[in-house]
Amino acid sequence: MVLKVKVRLKYSQNHIVWLFRRGRGLTGLKNLGNTCYMNSIIQCLNNTAILVAYFCNGQYLEHVNRSHSTRGAIAEELAAVVRALWSGQYRFIATKDLRSEVGKHQRAFRGTEQQDSHEFLTILMDWLHLDLQFTIKPPHKESLGASELAWHEYTKSKESLVLRLFYGQIRSTVRCSVCRASSATYDSFSNLSLELPAHASRCTLADCLKLYLNDEMVPGWNCPNCKEKRDAAKKLDISRLPPVLVIHFKRFYVDPKEYMCNAYRKKQTYIDFPLEDLDMRQFSLQCPENQIYNLYAVSNHYGSMEGGHYTAYCKSSVYGKWYKFDDHLVTEIPASEVRSSAAYILFYSACSRS
């Protein structure tokens, strides 16, 4: 599977010149009534080079799956949007058909109320994976390790380019404090959702990753060895890193003082994250070549839970410059402005090392 991903990544880079001839990819998106959350995510995905090539050259048509509940319509509408954004014919476009299709399958995205870009991204990734599935030859289970076996059980030999690009895997290990026996389970993810250090006005991405992977005490765990409830330590490890690593910061939380009112507040913590050479080797169980990542897009959130606004910062694969996508407005920005306390979701792509 990894080799196929690398072939596709190389294939997409060969299409950058073709995309340049087709258009600049600097087209805005009209706000259709608090749809900035959707616009922000679409622009981030529209700067994922291999996904753009996949949609623009029509290869996705070979994989459209009509048996899923959305019958391939989400993927088709997103493909139409991506092709329009790269056509070079428009200053901005309206995504009415995509929004309508999304609303058919998720009521929250149907109206004009502001929604969460992270929730939209997570649901969209699952839809696209199911819409674009293809079947692969199942491996021999006897030859698979625990991580590979869990991955096979999750995919059930049905994969997609979206799965191969964006999905990774987490190993969760629970260890008994008395007999030291442990139990490991594996879960897939399309993005890593990280807590921020408490009461910190500034932190680093490494701080958030360490906090996510630190041991957590679990009281009353049913130890399979002791046959009794024991205190245990739960440890998370990244067992599979995807070629495109998406990281979400948990900025919104319920204020404990207003718990009964379910009042959400936002952490304005400034997070220092690298634009280039994010080294994930210290945070992962495996050590392949592609564990160094470069940032190419950010979904930003400004304001509060009650009244906020989403934008996107994206690095053009054609021009190598950063641009701000604020609904229908697209403007160039210096790289020094990419880091801010508004950063909500980061998009990193793996870079090869010779």
348 neighbors 293 (Cβ within 8 angstroms): yes
Report, in angstroms and rounded to the nearest whole number, the Rg of the chain calculated over CA atoms: 21
3-state secondary structure of 112: coil
Nearest to 108 by CA among 95, 94, 129, 122: 122
From the list 68, 105, 309, 328, the catalytic residue is 309
Active site residue 226: no
Strand pairing category for 168-176 and 229-240:
antiparallel
Structure tokens at 245: 């690593």
φ and ψ at residue 292, rounded to 5 degrees? -105, 130
252 neighbors 196 (Cβ within 8 angstroms): no
What is d(CA 222, CA 273) in angstroms, rounded to the nearest whole number? 39
Q: Which residues contact 258 (CB under 8 A, 6 or more apart)?
A: none
From the list 36, 176, 208, 223, the catalytic residue is 36
What is d(CA 194, CA 178) in angstroms, rounded to the nearest whole number? 30
φ and ψ at residue 95, rounded to 5 degrees? -100, 45
What is d(CA 309, CA 260) in angstroms, rounded to the nearest whole number? 26
3-state secondary structure of 294: strand
Active site residue 309: yes
Structure tokens at 286: 């495996």
Residues with a catalytic annotation lie at 36, 309
